Chain A
């Protein structure tokens, strides 16, 4: 049996929190590498699309690096993918943050800013209300840092929600693709457990426990 570490490939989005994301996966026993190679992005066994910062700047970098198509394709083909924070928003058609710039468009919704009356950014720990249908996300408390959010569940995805004045989508899952508005890598043991579950989902059934 192959006892090598499970491999995680993180897309080099130019985002600011790479060190935390890498450390989060190393702590759960993964072999982490970074890439901005379109072929590797498409082929990786388990791919993470991280992101903090602005929607517009990041999507422009993804287009410039020719990563938009491979990302879109692997998600449509249900390859194991985790999109985090801005990464989740990048899956959408567009964002109020950067009007006129299309996102990956695998989710046909528009990302909107939290209502003006709320304290923005939404920063800190908040409850995640999940459902067994979102098999990778247990109910719990997660760490957030976002000013924009998905208001409504996208068609075809199961969702977890969080309340900040109004409920918003804090995670969504479709097959082997998971997107989280919160930061699992900064959500303590609850977050590490989530990363571990997602990583396990990247193993084919016959390999579980050995890859």
Chain B
């Protein structure tokens, strides 16, 4: 049976893992290679590495970080953040990513999703959606540029369009919950789940095994978390043990 996945996320800035809420007040959380290896040993099913560099040099350093992580890592690696073109995707794959997530570049030019899927396969074409509850609180709006710009785009419509173009997985981040440790946005998850039938990675708000379980029950195939692992509240296997005892299918 296909397992529910747990994916630690490394936000990397200028070659170091950082932590912070909505990319504000970033603090150092360690070396990406050391953390990647530690999380694989803890039972992580995959890793996500997001580039949150503020500078062009920082972004250029990202390929070297990916090469270093790839050499040591024996599980799948998704890379995202700051990707502008299909050529950027190619460089990241050549450096050692298995999947690449795009957000702003896809919103700016949705055809990029189709190009990526055609050239590299749907299984490596991940659509990242940063979702924020709209002002009328009737749905969710897509945010781009690391949450700084509100696109005039409904999350559900966008998810359907992007999957139609070839996105093979959706990395769905609740911008309202990100960094709050108040649980995943289950309403958002259920809505996107009923709109598309590709795997969904839930992101934003994890604090404990109950949150993960609820996300899986709301339709997530995978859950992403950062601070609960960086702050050593739990190891991945701690959470898996709790989930397994609640009859959630995980790889143990």
Question: Which residues of A are interface residues toward B (Cβ below 8 A)?
Answer: 16-20, 23-24, 26-27, 52-54, 57, 119-127, 141, 143, 145-147, 163-164, 183, 185-189, 191-192
Q: For window 155-170 of chain B, which residues contact chain A by CB distance below 8 Å?
A: 168-169
Contacts of B118 in A (CB 8 A): 54, 57
Q: Quick check: A186 and B1 within 8 Å, CB to CB?
A: no
B89-97, B102-110, B184-192, B226-234: which lies at the interface? B89-97
Task: Report the Cα distance A54→B116, complex, angstroms.
Answer: 12
Task: Report the Cα distance A16→B199, complex, angstroms.
Answer: 20
Q: Quick check: B75 and A143 within 8 Å, CB to CB?
A: yes
Contacts of A123 in B (CB 8 A): 123, 168-169, 199, 221
The residue in chain A whose Cβ has the minimal distance to the Cβ of B93 is A16
Contacts of B199 in A (CB 8 A): 119, 121, 123-124
The contact sample of 19 A-B pairs, CB cut-off 8 A, is A19-B93, A19-B95, A19-B97, A20-B76, A20-B98, A23-B96, A52-B120, A52-B124, A53-B120, A57-B118, A121-B169, A123-B123, A125-B2, A126-B1, A126-B3, A127-B1, A143-B75, A146-B123, A192-B74
* Shortest distance from the beta carbon of B79 to any chain A beta carbon, whole Å: 11
Q: How many residues of B contact A (CB 8 A)?
A: 37
Task: Report the Cα distance A191→B2, complex, angstroms.
Answer: 17
Q: Quick check: A187 and B169 within 8 Å, CB to CB?
A: no
Contacts of B46 in A (CB 8 A): 124, 143
Q: For window 1-23 of chain B, which residues contact chain A by CB distance below 8 Å?
A: 1-3, 5
* Shortest distance from the beta carbon of B183 to any chain A beta carbon, whole Å: 22
Q: B101-131 CB contact bits vs A (8 Å, 1 = yes)?
A: 0000000000000000011111110000000
Given A20-B98, A123-B168, also A164-B2 (CB < 8 A)? yes
A121 in complex: contacting residue of B67, B76, B119, B198, CB < 8 Å? B198
Contacts of B182 in A (CB 8 A): none
Given A16-B121, A53-B120, also A120-B197 (CB < 8 A)? yes
The residue in chain B whose Cβ has the minimal distance to the Cβ of A186 is B76
Contacts of B198 in A (CB 8 A): 119-121
The residue in chain A whose Cβ has the minimal distance to the Cβ of B219 is A119
Contacts of B74 in A (CB 8 A): 24, 27, 185-189, 191-192
Contacts of A20 in B (CB 8 A): 70, 76-77, 96, 98
List the 10 closest A-B pairs by CB distance, nearest first.
A19-B96, A145-B123, A53-B121, A16-B120, A125-B3, A125-B251, A16-B93, A186-B76, A123-B199, A121-B123
Q: Taking the complex as formed, is B215 at the interface, i.e. its CB lies under 8 A from any CB of chain A?
A: no
Q: Quick check: A141 and B2 within 8 Å, CB to CB?
A: no
Contacts of B178 in A (CB 8 A): none
Contacts of B96 in A (CB 8 A): 19-20, 23
